[in-house]
A and B are shown apart, each in its own frame.
Chain A
């Protein structure tokens, strides 16, 4: 993975000093709260319901054991002993004091971490495929390009006071495991005409109040021109995007209102006058960065592993974990292991400091010291020897991290909701917990197969409800929490927004209604059909009936 050189170190240290200066000017009155707010947000500091919240960047979700241990240290020293992984593959702390932030940021800088641009109207943390560098179907590891984008976008002079936030995701395979079409810009690595690296570019995707699926604006931008092309897109939007209405400021609204063709013309116009040579990624810099992401020193191993096979036979719990949380790796004899942060009845994405240390130990001993954060609010050990998977599983079991539900019905994405967030209309966590307890039976979940259930506590859609196979959105009805259900959303290469099935439900009705939806699927599915396939085949109606049947009966 990437390592800082003297320039990266200096920049992050200088950012800490700058932020400390800003905090001091806020305290002295030189900055008003209205002035300070955008400045602190650009360094990941929110003021939530109960306290400040600090969002720490995990660029493209890749980190190591030393960094994870430092995150644990921060949780213990400055917070309440835990952290929360987010759908942007960052980690956030819910209780830090403003006065402690300079010290926290300095602790982070020691291990090459920061909170730069984890919020604010700027270019946010670039996300990618959680299995980058391990997936079998990848044509190129997208992470070097994420790092190039990270550097280019860091403290960008032109794009730090944009109409709204701007999110980029990059994938290196046809299969989309990073939801790129729900991003302001989604990038897919393809082969250009000359056989070189190029990017298929989607623009104008986004969730929030007015969701849109990204549209293809370019089929193959050569890698060297990537930054110039991104500059042209951002410039077109920065000049033309709306600033009068926060809900209409994202690039998706501009693209939708002028149309893709007109927007492309605007981008091309800017591209034509850019000083291309300056923006062309220096080839040696690209090579230098790529070298950091070279595959770890894998051993030549047979495809099958005797200890792994033995454990499968010996322990049905391990076999279940292997079925659901262990993923094929492109290197024979290795696997990627999903560490679920969705225990039954737990808070999706939460992890205690002790658990952080436990995962750090496993990464160090069994995983080439590499960790990934998944946007589904889980962790991944990307490169584990199959021989070691049973040992890793036992250690996860001991740490309370071996829930075998990756991508199953209880692997719920949920935002912090009204328990923490000042923007929320309703709570998400208790609804997710109730659902998780109701669907806890693992045999039932395995019978259901992969189902993505996503929950947001407000229309900002941090919990990705629009693209959940089943989505749950908390709304406020005259001071009471209600939940609107959508069916048929999908975050992948067949991205789709879910259909709202009907009027919203009170909190305690949500979990039973979702279970009826899933039961209906079990009744009507065709052979080999996943939940989402069935929804695509039959539409939302049968599920609407299932959701409302007992309610209708009660009202009849």
Chain B
């Protein structure tokens, strides 16, 4: 609160009509400065205070002269500590007007968080589980595009991104995303171990769908130099390799998002059998518009919309990750059977909670 003071305060006293340079010089030589308003409409005092504060003046700053209670918060937010009042002034009105607003949009000298900052905090602190439950209820039986639209409603204030492997089935989800809003960021984990076909497919699909914000996320160079300088960690410890090349980069890349769209589907693996369109994982809302799609549904969608196919599909690859840990599958195998084949591993970890990864 702006302090209200009675009686003439000590300290150098300058009119707000004084040029900035002189005010700065006076401030440099004192730890109490009184700025006197000759008329309440003369708003120079607000800029003088703001400039002094921004340029490092840490002493006391007192407003005096013709100021109105209605200006209390303008004074406080511009950097004044106190106002000198004539005897008998209505200090109740000063207190009331100082606190007339519970928030301010724009940053100023006072340290209180702005509405912009509070919006961000509110969207971080919100009860995402309750939101996920509500959205699951509201979108029950709805099409994938409706699920996506519900998530993209600006009123929810979510900061949404998509993660895509640009793999065998990715075109369906990306197509629905692009139809809804081609500017939604798409995060691609550039592990450095992708099939060349995946990289050219990424370029082709990005262009075909008109996606405007595809972000390539690479492993941290220092981490990689320490853990996998020779690019063969996959041979000895696939989990550590996934952690280095996928889990950690994704965590860094998605720090600005509180909601991620994924293309995961229940049919893909036993670990995904209970998947719902909306779920919360490590404090992030996961949106899975295709949760109840099966392979035929994907195929039908790709067919109906004439979408470009991953070049490896016709060679029998139905789930595509990094080249060392992916093989083609036989017709009678599960789609993901070709991932980490021969290992006791079905997920890379980006879709598991932190606790499960650690376990």
Instruction: Give chain A's interface residues, CB within 8 Å of chain B.
Output: 3, 5, 7, 10-11, 14-15, 17-18, 21-22, 25, 30-31, 35, 38-39, 121, 151-163, 227, 235, 238-239, 243, 270, 273-275, 278-279, 282-285, 287-288, 291-292, 294
Contact = CB atoms under 8 A, between A and B. Distances in A.
Given A5-B119, A7-B103, A15-B101, 13 more contacts: A3-B154, A10-B102, A25-B93, A121-B43, A157-B77, A158-B43, A158-B108, A238-B43, A238-B47, A275-B54, A285-B119, A287-B159, A294-B154
A5 B103 contact: no
Contacts of B43: 121, 158-163, 238
A151 B68 contact: no
Interface string B25-53: 00000000000000011111011101100
The number of chain B residues touching the other chain, given as a range, is 35 or more
Nearest to B110: A157
B74 to A, nearest CB: 5
B46 A238 contact: yes
Contact of A161 (B46, B101, B154, B159): B46
Interface of B: 20, 40-44, 46-48, 50-51, 54-55, 68, 70-71, 73-74, 76-78, 90, 93, 96-97, 100-109, 115-120, 152, 154-155, 157, 159, 181, 256
A275 B55 CA distance: 9
Nearest to B118: A7
Given A158-B108, A285-B116, A291-B152, A273 B47 contact: no
By secondary structure, the A interface counts as: helix
Contact of A14 (B20, B101, B118, B155): B101
Contacts of A160: 43, 46, 74
A35 B68 CA distance: 8
By secondary structure, the B interface counts as: helix
Given A158-B78, A292-B154, A17 B119 contact: no
Nearest to B19: A239
Contact of B107 (A22, A159, A279, A288): A279
Most B CB atoms within 10 A — which of A10, A121, A239, A273?
A239
Contacts of B55: 273
Contact of A284 (B42, B47, B159): B159
B154 A291 contact: yes
Nearest to A39: B70
Contacts of A279: 107
Contacts of A17: 100
A18 B108 contact: no
B54 A273 contact: yes
A7 B54 contact: no
B105 A154 contact: yes
A377 B235 CA distance: 72
A288 B119 CA distance: 10
Given A21-B96, A152-B106, A235 B40 contact: no
Given A151-B115, A157-B78, A235 B50 contact: yes
A83 B100 CA distance: 30
Contacts of A288: 119, 154, 157, 159
B105 A151 contact: yes
A162 B20 CA distance: 16
Contacts of B77: 157-158
A284 B77 CA distance: 24
A294 B183 CA distance: 10
